[in-house]
Amino acid sequence: MCKGDKNREIIRIVLNKRYDIQYASIDNQNAIKYLEKLGDLYRLTDNFPIEYDLEDYNVTIDEVNITGNMYYVITAVLRHPKCKNCRKALTDAVTGLYNRNYWEKIISGATLHPRTQNFSLILIDVDNLKEINDTYGHTAGDKVIEIVGQAIKKCIRKEDAGLRYGGDEFIILLFNQDKKAAYRVIERIRREINKLAAGQGMNIQISAGAAYYDCLRNMGDIIKMADRDLYKEKRVKNLKKNRTVKN
């Protein structure tokens, strides 16, 4: 990682609706100076979250409900534009998506995507990667992973997060989106994969599951719920496949 003052890599400021500082990860004097740089941006919109760059920071402003009261949460993450190794450490080389290192940062809270009160999580894995590897070789298998990554990037919004968790497993976080929206995204990804795969003369099959996060659940529960949803789809596919074989 880059050298520097790690305490300044992430700034978090929480304001109440009167714009009084309720919490700051830096001292109040510097927090006030930082808010002056932000200006009145968060006062002029109801369309949250807001994301933009300010000096050397990526800034996200969101509204959250804490014990029945609404607050603004400002998260600023220091960018390291000259540190190629920092970017590489968080990026999957095959797909260009985030990697498992980035997922660990999400779990710990040290990420460009602050925890919001609601988001949907999608799990995806490739059903027939082993078959493709065995038939065409691992170069073709890498192409499959690349195609799935391309489809994910094309079908999610800029504010969402797509990750290659490992092997043929992918995670997508859709911020401020419910489970129905997640299923629509899954279908878009399937169509995009089919289109890209057809152009390569390939047949790529995926299974996917989704779960919805709210403040009453933890990340471990959400992963388990999405995993159960994914394997429910796999079971249905296997039943259909077995019936076809028997017939």
Active site residues: 168
Are the C-beta atoms of 85 and 93 separated by less than 8 Å?
no
> Look-up: residue for tokens 């497993």?
169
* The Cα angle at residue 153 between residues 114 and 85, in degrees rounded to 5: 65
| Short-list 155, 176, 165, 159, CA closest to 92 | 165
Distance CA 42, CA 112 (A): 18
CA-CA-CA-CA torsion sign (110, 181, 218, 15): positive
Residue type, 1: M
Task: Count Cβ atoms within 10 A of the Cβ of residue 152 and give its class: 0-12 exposed, 13-18 middle, 19 or more buried.
Answer: buried
